Structure 1
């Protein structure tokens, strides 16, 4: 179990850093979705399935859709 948590933590930190680093906004949104997904897995492992479902629905689902619609109406790359 500890190995799974270590791997999740490394992926979480990597995805968070990629979210900041990317100039391509679509890639940054996808990395941000990965962060939300891993956080929802953490909540599930902490015996909080209701919070995990809420984080997955809002963080991964709704936020990603709203960001993608916004990016589609503006420019994809940051200047």
Structure 2
């Protein structure tokens, strides 16, 4: 049972990483990256590394996508201001 759980977590991580690469829009890519961070946190927890999983949950699921979304918003705002 434990091996099956690890295999499922690895498959989910591979699928979410592929989805993060396949998405073209940066805002949507940040959201998929947040999902990838959540899946990786679950994977680390399944692999009995809860401290790494908690760090991944904080940084990979919250902070990094938030910074990307704020950067995309700032760049889009600056681009709209220059065209007027």
Same fold (TM over 0.5): yes
Stretches of 4+ moved more than 6 A in 1?
Answer: none
* Partner Cα separation in structure 1 for residue 59 and residue 53 of structure 2: 10
- Alpha-carbon RMSD across the aligned residues, in angstroms, is 1.6
Aligned residue in 2 for 1:27: 28
Aligned residue in 2 for 1:52: 53
Larger radius of gyration: 2
Higher helix share: 2
* Partner Cα separation in structure 2 for residue 11 and residue 47 of structure 1: 17
Scaled by the length of structure 1, the TM-score of the pair is 0.78
Flag structure 1 segments of 5+ consecutive residues without an equivalent.
none
Scaled by the length of structure 2, the TM-score of the pair is 0.75
> 3-state DSSP class of the match of 1:74?
helix
Flag structure 2 segments of 5+ consecutive residues without an equivalent.
77-84
Distance 1:46 1:7, change over 3 A: closer
Alignment of 1:1-79 (within 5 A): 1=1, 2-75=3-76
